[in-house]
Amino acid sequence: MSSLSRRDFLASTGLATASIIASRSGLAEARGLVLEPVLLAVIDAALSTARASKATYADVRIHRRREENVSVRDDHAAGTADSERYGVGVRVLKDGAWGFASTSRVDANEVKQVTLRAVAIAVANAPLRQKPIELAPAAASVDVWQTPMQKDPFKIPVADKLELLLGISNTLRKQKVTAFAEASLSTRLEWKVFASTDGTLVEQAITRIGPAYSVTLVNDGDFVSRGWDGQGRQADWEWLAESRFVEDAEQVAEDARVKLAAPPVEPGRRDLILSPENLWLTIHESVGHPTELDRALGDEANFAGTSFATPDKLKTLQYASPIVTLYADKTTPGGLATCGYDDDGVRTGRWNLVEKGKFVGYQTTRDQAAWIGEKESRGCSYAQDHSSVPFQRMPNVSLQPGDKDLGVNDLIAATDDGIYVQGDGSWSIDHQRYNFQFTGQMFFEVKKGKITRALRDVGYQSNTLEFWNACDLIGGPKEFRLGAAFDDGKGEPMQSNPVSHGCPPTRFKKISVINTRTKKGA
């Protein structure tokens, strides 16, 4: 059994022989992940065929995606599902154009034919391109990367998961008024092997877990809902206990009772103190999406809009107040978009999108970097499964904590007239990612440095530049927490991308607060 070194792989990818790659990867074995001979034969077939067809570049992804969803409603199971997709995607660059094809048959002979189809598609696309695709260089890597794992959530029996969720539901429904409860748990695995003619061979296993629950109270024709503030995470089963998934149910039920009795907010301009569980979503919509380069250049206009943050504003636009630095990364432990390498085979890292208030960066892939004169990719290529084309997707985007060790109580104490918002709610933003409205879960009036009472029906409206330039207090690193979008859609055909956004509690001055209530209910 031979060891696959970087030198071996670089040498072998230049040869069209049956022994293009050693039979197994010693590096993978050392970390508990083994490449089977059939997979190495598939890689050989794809890359050798691409080279023989005179493609200037090719990559192959063997991708397994498994999803398990378990949910309950009140006192009964609402549904269970376990699905899996497995196959191979081959991408080639020929005559300056991309070609892509895929198959669910992980077989060398089949993949050879798939590669030839990808080449034919590239040749057909070439006359349609405006200019040849230019790939930024990427270092060749042979590596293994995986989510740290002690207890695999897929090995926990579904019956145990249902019992856990039903226990939470029972806690939520112990009310003096009519109550309805829902709870769910989603578990996902992405296992993939990526290899390219540039000499990269990477195996990755990414496990994500998404817990959620909410309770709705109904009393005399009025109703409110309160959802758990916890967020999805790239983690194993042990993280669920750390997240207080079960323990928080009592507080969520109490919050719902408080919210039902709370008075509606009076509209006006107020200081907002936003918890990480609320602000993450505003970061996602007002910073994450506007800084996608393909969106800024109009490539997403048909499906999900464009961006006000166009390249002519790069390095000049005052995106936020000088205390604000917003960064992108795919390295944060537990982040849903965190991985070792993107689907271009680029090693992931961290970079600023907004630095001390200035707009300074975009999210890019290897074929986008040259569009803005950059020499390397930011590692933002992602495809949701084997049959999907890799393209630019959002990394984790987060607000850098402040220099002082401030917590939410410090922000409240420093606020004369404001509202403290917990949890995420509904949202709306225009197609340029500029004008927006967000709500939350719980709202508390702040007067002269103290919380005075709960409120309800609170929404806040602003535009991206006004909002971020109004930021005047940022909490410290001790209260930094990750929020999560488990299914962020983009592209046609649409693909789903998981992504996290971190921040501490943060204050924004004189934001327009509205009353969202048009009739009984919240």
What does the DSSP 8-state code read for residue 20?
A: S
**Element holding 89 (H helix, E strand):** strand 76-94
Predicted confidence at residue 34, as pLDDT, reads: 61
Asked whether 500 and 336 are in contact (CB, 8 A), the reply is yes
What is the reported pLDDT for 517?
A: 85
Structure tokens given for 336: 């849903």
**Region for 305 from its dihedrals, namely left if φ exceeds 0, alpha if ψ lies in -120 to 50, beta otherwise:** left
Name the percent of the chain lying above pLDDT 70.
Answer: 93
HEC-encoded secondary structure of 394-425: CCEEEECCCCCCCCHHHHHHCCCEEEEEEEEE
Taking only the tens place, the pLDDT of each residue in 384-419 is 999 999 999 999 999 999 999 999 999 999 999 999
318 phi, psi to nearest 5 deg? -85, 90
Structure tokens at 388: 């999907």
Q: Is the pLDDT of residue 130 over 60?
A: yes
Packed helices 108-125 and 37-52: angle between N→C axes, nearest 10 degrees:
30
Position 24 scores a pLDDT of: 33
Is the pLDDT reported for residue 8 higher than 60? Answer: no
| Three-point CA angle 468, 382, 56, nearest 5° | 125
13 band by pLDDT with thresholds 50, 70 and 90 = very low
User: Which residue, among 283, 290, 507, 305, has the nearest Cα to 409 in the 3D structure?
Assistant: 507
Residue 347 has pLDDT above 80, yes or no: yes
Judge if pTM exceeds 0.75: yes
Question: Would the pLDDT of 28 be above 60?
Answer: no
Given a cut of 70, whether residue 459 has pLDDT beyond it is: yes
CA atoms within 13 A on the CB side of 376: 10
Q: How confident is the model at residue 15 (pLDDT cuts 50, 70, 90)?
A: very low
| ω into 395 cis (within 30 of 0) | no
Task: For residues 386 and 41, give the distance between their C-alpha atoms in angstroms, rounded to a whole number.
Answer: 17
Mean pLDDT of the chain: 93
Q: How far apart are alpha carbons 190 and 173 in whole angstroms?
A: 35
Domains in the chain: ranges and CATH: 6-261 (3.30.2290.10), 275-515 (no CATH)
> How far is Cα 13 from Cα 220, in angstroms, rounded to an integer?
71
Q: What is the pLDDT of residues 195-218, one digit of tens each?
A: 999 999 999 999 999 999 999 999
What is the arithmetic mean of pLDDT over 470-474? 98
Mean of the pLDDT values across residues 121-125? 98
> Which of residues 34 and 373 earns the better pLDDT score?
373
Beta bridge partners of 501: 483
C-alpha dist (Å) from residue 520 to 222, 457, 458: 5, 10, 14
How far is it, in rounded angstroms, from Cα 214 to Cα 442?
A: 13
